Amino acid sequence: MANSKVELPATVDAVVRLLIGLVPEAEQARIAYMREDELVTLEIGLGMWTRNNLGLWNGNAALLDATGEAHADDASGVIIRAFWLALRAELPKVH
């Protein structure tokens, strides 16, 4: 049996693209309309998934470094904020 090791994303931008493909559109819309101070509520669900599945606790030093943070909890916060900013950039502009 071949060893099929999954390559983890090494940049915040790569994680944002991954999340855009994984998170349902309705949830993306909910996140996009959150206030920045509400993002902390995503740490239990989305943050935990990010830390556990993208190697922030161990094995993905490149991604941890890319966030500019030394701790997985802080790194997932950087990722969540980047995801939120990307979603907000896609919102319709009202003039």
pLDDT one digit per residue (tens) for the chain, 95 residues? 454 567 899 999 999 999 999 999 999 999 999 999 999 999 999 999 999 999 999 989 999 999 999 999 999 999 999 999 999 998 887 76
Look up the pTM and report it. Answer: 0.90
C-alpha–C-alpha distance, residues 92 and 29, integer Å: 12
Alpha helices in the chain (DSSP H): 12-22, 25-32, 48-53, 61-67, 72-89
Say which amino acid occupies 27: E
Which residues are within 8 A (CB) of 78 and not within 5 positions of it... i.e. 6 or more apart? 12, 67, 68, 69
